[in-house]
Amino acid sequence: MLDQTTTKGRIIAAAMKCAETRRWSEISLYDIAEEAGVGLDVLRANVRSKGAILAAFMRAVDDEVLKRAPKREEGTTARDRLFDVIMTRFDVLAPYKPALRNIVRDAPTTPELLPACLCAQHWMLAAAGIGTDGLEGAARMAGLGAIYARVFAIWLEEEDPSSPKTMAALDRRLARAEGVARRLHDFGEGARRMICAVAPKGLGRICRARSGMEAPAPESGAPSPSGGVDAGAGPGAPQPGTA
């Protein structure tokens, strides 16, 4: 996964090697440079901090997950695809589990890690064919982040390479999240329809059209769907919904 033909790749690999036997807080940049076989000046030209090294490691993991992510098959649900993507991520991380245990023990919080964490959630959702745009997308990323953090902790302590506990926990949490998302969607649709029903006539028509409840009526003088011109809703004209 880590391209050790590059200086940056050797530095990241060296940091993970150091973390296999030592706590992250005990490892200095000098230690990492020495393990990588480079000077501190070279290390500084590639990474600026230990947090930046971890962020670069996470981006490398993202790249590998996207390479290995299973192709979308017809008939699979979003939940099943997301399950496969997350388990693929754990497969990619497996060789680094001893190092990750020591890193997590110190729970490093640095400015470089937050964007990398959000990016990881974004690309896992994207690999599963799930949108991340707008407020709804942001909520999905936050929800996945919470699920992933809990399941990652279980995976980190599980010794069985087939990860039965991890898979069970992930399946359970994704099912729960799917149920919550469905209820929120149903609630949102119900609220939208109720607002549309009591909205003023013109606004209500637009609202219902956007909700898929009816097609928007063309404005007076605007081309009608048949290619003519709507002459307006006169006394003999059919009213919306009555045709």
List of domains in the chain:
7-190 (1.10.357.10)
Beta bridge partners of 59: none
Residues with Cβ < 8 Å from 133, sequence gap 6 or more? none
Instruction: State how far the Cα of 34 lies from the Cα of 28, in Å rounded to an integer.
Output: 10
pLDDT value at position 237? 43
Token output for 210 = 């956007």
pLDDT value at position 72? 82
pLDDT value at position 229? 36
pLDDT value at position 77? 92
pLDDT value at position 70? 83
DSSP 8-state code for residue 223: B
Terminal alpha carbon distance of the chain: 63
pLDDT value at position 133? 93
pLDDT in tens, the chain (243 residues): 899 999 999 999 999 999 999 999 999 999 999 999 999 999 999 999 999 999 999 999 999 999 999 888 888 899 999 999 999 999 999 999 999 999 998 877 677 788 899 999 999 999 999 999 998 889 999 999 999 999 999 999 999 999 999 999 999 999 998 876 665 444 445 445 545 555 555 545 555 555 554 444 555 444 444 444 343 444 444 444 444
3-class DSSP assignment, residue 106? coil
DSSP 8-state code for residue 233: -
Instruction: State how far the Cα of 112 lies from the Cα of 118, in Å rounded to an integer.
Output: 11
Token output for 224 = 């009608």
3-class DSSP assignment, residue 168? helix
Q: Is the separation of the CB atoms in 118 and 59 below 8 Å? A: no
Write the CA distances from 239 to 30, 176, 234, 235, integer angstroms: 78, 44, 9, 9
Instruction: State how far the Cα of 56 lies from the Cα of 101, in Å rounded to an integer.
Output: 18
Instruction: State how far the Cα of 107 lies from the Cα of 22, in Å rounded to an integer.
Output: 14
Residue in 83, 63, 97 with CA at minimum distance from that of residue 147: 83
Q: Is the separation of the CB atoms in 216 and 206 below 8 Å? A: yes
Rg of the chain in Å (alpha carbons): 26
